[in-house]
Amino acid sequence: MAAKKVVKRDGRVEDFSAVKIYNACIAAGAPEEVAHEIAREAEEKIRDGASTAEIRRFVLQRLKEMAPHAYEAWIFYDRITKGRITFEDGKAVVVEKGHLYLGREVKDIGPPGLSSSEEVRGVLKELEDDLNFGVSKATINARLYALFMGVLKSSKMPAEEKEKSIRLINEFRQKLGWKPYELKKLL
């Protein structure tokens, strides 16, 4: 049986390594038995071709549940050494002056707001991954609405990109058996 492959942030592909997950958990301060368990679960649950962002979200969620101190240490490490800000589910979300800005896949922090349908496609991919990892449909639905509103309110996104984005969101909703969003006024 061929080894599972993992897609790195820069697009390179490498073999999945449970040992790397184990070592990262240990480096964050998780007990050995927790690190072994998370690495074992990841080996079972992570699909071939998964992104490192997906794996990272999975590991962070399990660390938060099994070894909260190690989870906090991992977050602190990311902030001070990699310039990343990570919130509970491994995604960056910045709320500023009452406006919700959705982060893109786990990356270094960039400018807030949505500017293209490709960014929306990335967020939808995250939502699909979250659903596959057990996030409730109610939570996914709430996030979809926030994404929809983010698209509508974006001042950086041209009308054509907004239309594409809404189409992508509605296709995702329909795939889940939900009604598409309807615009109350033209873009």
- Domain residues for the domain of 108 are 93-175
Domain count, the chain: 2
CB environment 176-185: b (16+ within 10 A), e (fewer): eeeeebeeee
Residues 47 and 20 in one domain: yes
For the chain, percent of residues with pLDDT exceeding 90: 40
Q: Is the pLDDT of residue 154 over 60?
A: yes
Same domain? 23 vs 72: yes
Q: Is residue 184 part of a domain?
A: no
Q: Are residues 167 and 99 in the same domain?
A: yes
In a domain, 68, yes or no: yes
pTM: 0.52
Write down the number of H helices and E strands in the chain: 7, 5
- Domain for residue 185, yes or no? no
β-partners of residue 96 are 99
Asked whether residue 32 falls in the same domain as residue 104, the answer is no
State the pLDDT at residue 77.
62
Radius of gyration of the chain (CA): 18
Whether residue 180 is contained in a domain is answered as: no
Q: Confidence class of residue 41 from pLDDT cuts 50, 70 and 90?
A: very high
**Residue 126 domain-assigned (yes or no):** yes
Q: What is the pLDDT of residues 76-106, one digit of tens each?
A: 566 544 555 665 554 544 443 344 444 444 4
**Residues 101, 71 share a domain:** no
How far apart, in whole angstroms, are the C-alpha atoms of residue 156 and residue 140?
25
* Average pLDDT along the chain: 80
